[in-house]
Amino acid sequence: MRFLILFFCLIFIFADLQKSVAQEPLKTITADTVVEKTTNKFFVRSFPIVYIRPETGWGGGLAGTTNFSLNGRNEKTPASQVSWVMSYTEKKQFLVLLPFNLYFKNRKYYSEGELDVTNFSWDYWGNGNITKDVSEKFYTNYKRLIFNLMTKVYGKIYGGLKTEMNDFPELRFGDINGQLATNTSIAGRNGGFYKSIGTEFLYDTRDNIYSAKKGMMVDVTYLYWNKVFFGDATFHRIFIDAMKFNSLTKWDVLCFDLNLQMNNGVEVPFTELSQLGGSTIMRGLYEGRYRDKFLANICVENRIHIYNRFGLVVFGNLGEVNNSITNFDFNYLRWTVGSGVRYLLNSSDRINVRFDFAVGPNTHGSYLTIGEAF
């Protein structure tokens, strides 16, 4: 009940901010809605936040988002966006997050990425799809930078470069007798600085990048970590993310999201292994509850517009991790199901506030945040 009370309190805060800052007219959003042909509107929103996730518990702080247009705005160019979050959680975690999306010249060029600086604690159950039932904690001052530089290749196909850098300067263990403290075979247990560079290709026919009602998106990324880049590990990763959106009716959208991740290397650091769980992949599971070299996950979600700015969703997830793609076992598939509430924060760009609750065998999770899971 307290989740819903806070959710609706936030809605009224957001609604008031929209009215006073953006002065944006309320629009009815359908699958056929397109943005106005040309505008250079510049929106800045800043507001207090309250959220909850299994990894953080309750958290609060300040957040903001800036929506603007580069080289003019039209139906082919999404609004560029720079956001910021500064928060503190009941688990004594401090987070500063700076995600951004920049679009130029009818999306002929664009760059997306995120800079994170955190003082964070994580739960760790072990590597693999079958782990201990009891977790141990590790603590780190974690820094991450990820971004791409993309250009249109042909039609709806984009290609470019991508880099990811993760810095775990030192890991501190909550249990001196736990796996991380005693098992020297766990790669990355002493922390490290991991740098990669690679390529990314995208096929995108979605009608909206923030909350699509129709179309599809396939993202294929290859990243190469190497000590030559002044990093502390050498391995490869291939990441495939495929989404499909179908408008069943004017107010009803059926969505699919398939994630495949493949890491190849002798010693992939445990912090860099593919992780099942979190606010986007397998909601309801703690992020990193299961981690290994290979991951497969599919999510099916039904989004239903209810009234005015409000909507409901129901979703289900099915996935698994393993140390080899040939070792996937359908007898050990993990699953969660859930439902959620949506509030349309920005009607022009279809940006939603979302509250999701998901459950699975011996697990559950609540999520209150901005933006869809996919």
pLDDT for 16 equals 38
Report residue 41's pLDDT band, with 50, 70 and 90 as the boundaries.
Answer: low
- CB of 48 within 8 A of CB of 368? no
- Whole-structure pTM value: 0.83
Indicate if the pLDDT at residue 344 is higher than 50: yes
Q: b or e along 146-159 (b: 16 or more beta carbons within 10 Å of the residue's beta carbon)?
A: bbbebebeeeeebe
Report residue 46's pLDDT band, with 50, 70 and 90 as the boundaries.
Answer: confident
Q: Is domain 2-370 classified as CATH 2.40.160.50?
A: yes
Q: What is the dihedral of CA 135, 56, 276, 114, to 10 degrees?
A: -140
Distance CA 24, CA 344 (A): 12
What are 109-167's pLDDT values in tens digits? Answer: 999 999 999 999 999 999 999 998 999 999 999 999 999 999 999 999 999 999 999 99
- CB of 305 within 8 A of CB of 254? no
The residue type at 160: G
What are 188-215's pLDDT values in tens digits? Answer: 999 999 999 999 999 999 999 889 999 9
Report residue 49's pLDDT band, with 50, 70 and 90 as the boundaries.
Answer: confident
Rg (CA), the chain: 21
Query: Domain residues of the chain, as ranges?
Result: 2-370
Report residue 17's pLDDT band, with 50, 70 and 90 as the boundaries.
Answer: very low
Exposed, middle or buried by CB within 10 Å (0-12, 13-18, 19+), for 38? exposed
- CB of 314 within 8 A of CB of 302? yes
Smallest CA-to-CA distance from 147 within 91, 215, 212, 99 is with: 99
Smallest CA-to-CA distance from 49 within 6, 96, 5, 20 is with: 6
* CA distance to 8, 253, 299, 310, per residue, from 355 (Å): 10, 18, 17, 12
What are 208-236's pLDDT values in tens digits? Answer: 988 999 999 999 999 999 988 788 999 99
